Structures are given as C-alpha cells and as structure tokens.
Amino acid sequence: GENVEQHPSTLSVQEGDSAVIKCTYSDSASNYFPWYKQELGKGPQLIIDIRSNVGEKKDQRIAVTLNKTAKHFSLHITETQPEDSAVYFCAASTVRTGRRALTFGSGTRLQVQP
Amino acid sequence: GAGVSQTPSNKVTEKGKYVELRCDPISGHTALYWYRQSLGQGPEFLIYFQGTGAADDSGLPNDRFFAVRPEGSVSTLKIQRTERGDSAVYLCASSPDPRDRVYNEQFFGPGTRLTVL
C-alpha cells in the first residue's frame, strides 16, 4: 500500500519568513495530494491540494509543488504569520482502483515566532 | 453551510464496554469516511461508505470495530469490548459523490476523543 513520509517533524520560523514542508510517497498510482492544517482540539482543515496533472498550484501565501518522477511534493508558506502556527499534514490517494482512502504523513508542527 | 459534525466530542469509557460514535456529513455528500488519529500521528483510514454501503473497510483493525450508514447520511462507528489501545481521536470526513469526480476532496469533522480507562 501507499506510504507517505513527511519532514521535518517540527519547524520554527520567525514571523514573515517562509516555511517549507516536504513529503514523499511510494505508490506511483497516487494522483491526488492534499494538505491539511490541524489546530489543537480541531479536525484537519483542507488548505490546498494538487492533482497529478499539475506541477504547481498557488493560493495567496500558500503554494504546493509536485514532482511525480521523484514522487515528492512540498508545501510552501510565505510571509508566515503567528496564526499559521499549527500541525500540517500531507496526504496522498488514488481513485484508480476505487479506493478513496487518504494516506497521511506523520505531520509537521509549525511554530511562527512573533 | 454546516460542516461535518461529530458527537460526542469526548467519550470516556471503561475497558470492555461498548461505544457508539456518530457522524453527520455535509448535506448532499454521498461519500463518508472514518479515520483514527493517535496522539502525535496522522489520521489512519478505517472505512469508506458510498451511500449506504461500505465500499472499503480494509482499515478496520479487527472485528470489534463496525460501522453503519443505514440511510446514506448519518453514520455510526461502533466499538465492542473496548481496549485501552482504542484510545484515540476518531475523525469523520465526507466528500461529494466521488463517482462524478476524478479527485477526492475530503472535509473533516472535529472528531470524537475516545478514552478507554
């Protein structure tokens, strides 16, 4: 089955700096890669996703890149703000075989220092 | 509009007891998923419903775990003979009909924190 590895496990940046979180996946059939933000005591919130037919996607201060050849994808947050502090999860899935399960990475705790 | 809701938000039970966890998906979403999240880990898939039927239950850890969705909307996750290792946050997610879509956005509820003493 799919295996998703995520790093770093913790990341501390100064307000205004950029943050980058990286993930690798194992199943070449995976074609959908969402990123979730989880605040303490809450469920994961979908913040951006990328599909296998796209190499890069941007939404305001957040961007995601995908390299299918190398089987890795990354989340980039620019101009970080204290409210960006949370745990971020990457995930991967494929719908080709009819399975819809997301396989998640182990998470990155981002702390933005004011 | 309303998101995915889960009840109760917290559940404390004793080892060996039976528990039920409820999920109300986003209105109109035909797909519903259950995940389990242990402390410091990412969510792990348990089961996926398309309508009333369980399309994929490959993530259920053993036969103590069972889930239903009798009318294709609300779902209940049932755990028999609970064990301390079942303690985790149980998350529910829903999607628009995936059969109409190539990709699979899933929207999560706040979760139920289950503690087995």
pLDDT of residue A97: 57
The count of CB pairs under 8 A between chains A and B is 75
**C-alpha span between B67 and B49 (Å, rounded):** 9
Residue to test with chain A: of B106, B107, B112, B113, most A Cβ within 10 A: B106
Q: In this structure, what are the phi and psi dihedrals at residue B36, rounded to the nearest 5 degrees? A: -125, 135
**C-alpha span between A73 and A47 (Å, rounded):** 15
State chain B's mean pLDDT as an integer. 93
Q: Give A107's contacts in chain B (Cβ within 8 Å).
A: 40-42
State chain A's mean pLDDT as an integer. 94
What is the rounded average pLDDT of the residues B2-29? Answer: 96
Query: What pLDDT digit, counting tens, does each position of A29-57 carry?
Result: 898 999 999 999 999 999 999 988 778 99
Q: Strand (E) positions, B43-105?
A: 44-50, 53-56, 65-68, 75-79, 88-95
Among partner residues A34, A49, A100, which is closest to B98 by beta-carbon distance?
Answer: A100
3-class DSSP assignment, residue A83? helix
- For B95, the closest chain A residue by CA position comes to A100
**C-alpha span between B19 and B52 (Å, rounded):** 21
**C-alpha span between A39 and B108 (Å, rounded):** 13
| Residues paired with residue B115 on neighbouring β-strands, in sequence order | B12
- Reference B108, options B19, B54, B38, B36; nearest CA is B36
How many degrees, rounded to 5, is the angle at CA A9 between CA A7 and CA A12?
105
Query: What pLDDT digit, counting tens, does each position of A58-89 carry?
Result: 999 999 999 999 999 999 999 999 999 999 99
Centroid of chain to Cα A5: 11
- For A46, the closest chain B residue by CA position comes to B107
Q: Where are the alpha helices (DSSP H) in A1-114?
A: none
Among partner residues B33, B42, B45, which is closest to A89 by beta-carbon distance?
Answer: B42
**C-alpha span between B97 and A102 (Å, rounded):** 16
Which of residues B105 and A105 earns the better pLDDT score?
A: A105
